[in-house]
């Protein structure tokens, strides 16, 4: 590229004109980038900014959506998932409660002491978790420990009214109403 063939001497010689032009272009580009960087104040990302971007991307990936919740209930083979989903809607006030937002607790669960749990401790009077998914795991563990012998929806509702809920039959009636109004059975 920087050589030319001299037909008179039959030798390859350096083409100083091409070399000078190429060096001039490189020099102009370097000066342009220097000036742009100096006056435009382009800023490279520091370590803290990179960390914020990574955390932000992970938060978006783990962000709660009702569709992801349905998929998680299916994946974990949670029994009577439409009832469990209605419980989450009631317990979180349609996913808006402080216990849900700060504790990632979908079910108003207390920290378990007599069974395996994914809870990290107690906060705001309820169990708290690293993620909403951990709350679903904990509910699945709860079902395995205490609800293994329940075979029908009616038995499940009876259990909820006598043991799980403080409002008894009112709680179960609200759960049933939400299941019907939001057609939760159709999601599963």
CATH (domain of 149): 1.10.530.10
Query: Domain tally for the chain?
Result: 2
Residues 17 and 73 in one domain: no
pLDDT tens-digit profile of 123-165?
999 999 999 999 999 999 999 999 989 999 999 999 988 886 6
Give the whole-angstrom CA distance, residue 109 versus residue 126: 6
Residues 77 and 164 in one domain: yes
Residue 53 lies inside a defined structural domain of this protein:
no
Report the candidate in 27, 31, 23 with the shortest Cα–Cα distance to residue 2.
Answer: 23
pLDDT tens-digit profile of 101-120?
999 999 999 999 999 999 99
Residues 9 and 98 in one domain: no
Least confident of 53-62, 74-83, 111-120: 53-62
Residue environment code for 89-117, b if the CB has 16+ CB neighbours within 10 A, otherwise e: bbbbeebebebbeebbbbbbbebeeeeeb
Residues 127 and 36 in one domain: no
Host domain of residue 20: 3-40
């Amino acid at each position: 590229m920087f050589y030319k063939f001299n037909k008179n001497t039959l030798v390859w010689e350096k083409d100083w004109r091409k070399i000078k032009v190429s060096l001039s272009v490189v020099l102009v580009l370097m000066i342009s980038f220097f000036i742009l960087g100096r006056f435009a104040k382009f800023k490279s990302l520091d370590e803290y900014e990179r960390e914020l971007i990574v955390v932000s991307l992970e938060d978006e990936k783990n962000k709660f959506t009702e569709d992801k919740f349905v998929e998680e209930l299916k994946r974990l083979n949670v029994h009577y998932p439409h009832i469990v989903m209605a419980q989450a809607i009631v317990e979180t006030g349609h996913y808006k409660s402080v216990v849900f937002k700060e504790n990632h607790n979908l079910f108003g669960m207390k920290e378990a002491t007599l069974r395996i749990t994914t809870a990290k401790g107690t906060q705001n009077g309820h169990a708290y978790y690293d993620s909403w998914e951990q709350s679903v795991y904990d509910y699945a563990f709860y079902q395995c420990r205490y609800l293994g012998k329940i075979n029908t929806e009616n038995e499940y509702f009876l259990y909820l009214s006598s043991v799980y809920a403080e409002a008894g039959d009112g709680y179960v009636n609200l759960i049933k109403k939400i299941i019907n109004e939001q057609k939760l059975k159709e999601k599963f």
